[in-house]
Each structure stands twice: as structure tokens, then as C-alpha cells.
Homo-oligomer: A and B are copies of this chain.
Amino acid sequence: MSHNTFGHLFRLTTWGESHGPAIGCVIDGCPPGIALTEADIQIHLNKRRPGQSRYTTQRAELDNVKIMSGVFENDNGEQVTTGTPLALLIENLDQRSKDYGDIKNKFRPGHADYTYFSKYGIRDYRGGGRSSARETAMRVAAGAVARKVLLGVSIRGALVQIGPHKVDRENWSWSEVENNPFFSPDVKSVSLWADYLDQVRKAGSSVGAVIEVVAEGVPPGWGAPVYSKLDQELAAGLMSINAVKGVEIGDGFGVASLIGEESTDEIRNLNGRPHFTTNRAGGILGGISTGEPILARFVVKPTSSILTSRGTIDSCGKETNIFTKGRHDPCVGIRAVPVGEAMVALVLADHMLRHRGQVGC
């Protein structure tokens, strides 16, 4: 993990800006012999693609991914990974000629405009440049490859809160997640959220959201003390997603008000294998997986691209105001669901290989 690279043995390096010619990534360290086509990746990209409902940005991007290297036909004529770097590329189609006048000279509050400029003395102001969430398309693409490495592991995400409205966990249904534009597991939340977001959108405003990702099928033993803990790297991966302000594992902040008798998951035998009767720990103890489902949650702030004028300064330091014209996302958290899944997949694939390296299969 360093600047624009994530992971140790399964390593993702991304590049590209929101309005440059393309975005892309290099995945290094992928095991060889894994069947992989562009369609395998596209299916996940399509879940994140903008413009799919009125609740997400209307930017028209097909996000068609191309595999530029790292695959070849095996003896059966199947396209498989070769063990050398996978390079993926998505062209930016919707670089509409646009008046960036305001953004060019003013720092949008809540965005990275001021901090990038403070750091580098220059910034690519077109659509946020490198700080745009467009970068997360490559995370989703790489996550699709990571999933292929993680045989027997299922990774699923769901939106569990929009604004003040949480799902009712009694209603949780994974199959429902695929049926609504919010990735909600609670069918009853759908019309409520739809109405709420319509209001938010009409007000030119935005709201935050909470996403939960669950990984099932991870065997006990993945992860590593003490600075490569599985929960540590999940926290890093999820917190690195644009607009994320918090991460929880298992019961998360809820453990503060528990007593030890409540928070300690007991171990029993189930069908001859160790089994935890509860999973408040979220599948991780001492930074290493327990074999129970891994539970991670993260919060995404409301986008700062809103139609209300907000105070800011310009690049000369003069006070001014700004508001964001044009398309915007009332709840960017929705599209963060496949991104969160991807980051969990990347962390797990990396740890699977690292575990195998140190300890053997």
C-alpha cells in the first residue's frame, strides 16, 4: 500500500483522472491459470456504472473494460491469467466540453480541491481529476479478478442506511439486494428510500449512507499480526474509498457499551468443526480470520456537490461562494456498494496469497 498501489502479493495500481482519455490499472501478482474474460469483469462494473437509475449520477459512461495484458489461451483454448501483470483500461467517453470556469478558480468545499492544491501546487480541476470517484471503477474491475482468486468465498454488500433511515434487519434478504436500485436487503425500505431520495434530489441536496459487506467462506487463519491484521487492512481498504468517514468490524462501535460476557463469542463444535455461537467479532480475532463470516461496515458522507451555494475561497485566497451545477448524485453511497465489495475482495485475495506464502496451502 503506497500512494496509488494497494496490496502486497495481490497488488492493484490505478491511474487516470475523471476527464482524461482513460482510466486504468495494473494487477500484479495474480496467480496463473485462472479463467478470465472481459465479461467476467464487466458484470461487476455494470453494477457500479453511473446513470442506471434516477438516484445516481447521469454521467453517460459505458465503462467497457479492455484487458490489455496478462491473459493468454491455455491448451483448452480458454483465456486464462498468465501470472504476469494484468492491465485493464476503460476509456472516458463522456468528457463533455464544459465550462470549468468556476471550479477552475474556486475550491469546492467538501471536495479535495483545496487539499490537492495545497499539496501539489497544481490540480486537474476537470471533474475532480484524480480525486474523482471515477477511480473506483478500477477497484471494482480489480475486485472482479480478486473474486476469481477467492474460490469458495462469497462477498456481498448491501446498503443498510440512507440518511436517518436504516433497514430492518429482520427483513434481510440477499436476493432482494439485486432487485432494487439501492442494493437494499429490506424490501420494505425501497419505497421509503425512493420517496426520501426524490425529495433530496429535488432539493438539490444529498445524504449519507452506510454500507455493509459480508464475506463468507473464508477459512480460519487468514490475516497476520500485528501490522497486517485482516481488520486493519479492511479498514484501510474501505477508508480509502472516496467520502468514507468510518469503518466498523462486527459489532463495531456498539461494543463500547457491551460487557465482556456479551461481547465474547463462545466456541462450540458444530458437525465436528469449531463454530462460534455468535459473531460479534465479525469473523476476526487478533487480526486473523475465525472461519465465521467477515462483517465490515462503512459510512459514506453526503456528496458536497449540491445546488446550495456554500462559502469558499478562490485560488487567490479571496472569499467567494460556489454551488455545483449539472448532474449530481443525491446519495453517492449507493454506488459505493460494489466498491466496498471490491475492496474486501482485494484484501482477502492478498491475504490468501500471503498466508499460502508463509504457511503453505
Q: Is there a chain B Cβ closer than 8 Å to A274's Cβ?
A: yes
**A interface SS class:** mixed
Q: Who on chain B is nearest to A277 by CB?
A: B311
A256 to B222, CA, bound (A): 31
Known: A26-B13, A109-B265, A116-B288. A304 touches B260 (CB 8 A): yes
Copies of chain A in the complex:
4
| A5 partner, pick from B87, B162, B227, B308, beta carbons under 8 A | B227
Q: Please give, as numbers and ranges, the residues of chain B lying within 8 Å of A114 by CB-CB distance.
A: 220, 267, 274, 285, 290
Q: When the two chains form their complex, are residues B130 and A225 in contact, meaning their CB atoms are under 8 A apart?
A: yes
Q: When the two chains form their complex, are residues A246 and B239 in contact, meaning their CB atoms are under 8 A apart?
A: no
Known: A239-B229, A301-B255. A249 touches B249 (CB 8 A): no
Q: When the two chains form their complex, are residues B15 and A87 in contact, meaning their CB atoms are under 8 A apart?
A: yes
Q: Please give, as numbers and ranges, the residues of chain B lying within 8 Å of A115 by CB-CB distance.
A: 220-221, 223, 284-290
Q: When the two chains form their complex, are residues B110 and A313 in contact, meaning their CB atoms are under 8 A apart?
A: no
Q: When the two chains form their complex, are residues A354 and B319 in contact, meaning their CB atoms are under 8 A apart?
A: no
What is the total number of residues of chain A having a CB less than 8 Å from a CB of chain B?
157
Q: Who on chain B is nearest to A220 by CB?
A: B118
Q: Please give, as numbers and ranges, the residues of chain B lying within 8 Å of A308 by CB-CB distance.
A: 260-261
Q: Who on chain B is nearest to A125 by CB?
A: B72
| A245 partner, pick from B162, B253, B259, B291, beta carbons under 8 A | B253
Q: Please give, as numbers and ranges, the residues of chain B lying within 8 Å of A242 by CB-CB distance.
A: 286
Q: Is there a chain B Cβ closer than 8 Å to A143's Cβ?
A: no
Q: When the two chains form their complex, are residues B112 and A285 in contact, meaning their CB atoms are under 8 A apart?
A: yes
A13 to B236, CA, bound (A): 19
Q: When the two chains form their complex, are residues B122 and A80 in contact, meaning their CB atoms are under 8 A apart?
A: yes
| A246 partner, pick from B163, B228, B252, beta carbons under 8 A | B252
| A256 partner, pick from B208, B310, B313, beta carbons under 8 A | B208
A302 to B254, CA, bound (A): 11
A356 to B311, CA, bound (A): 31
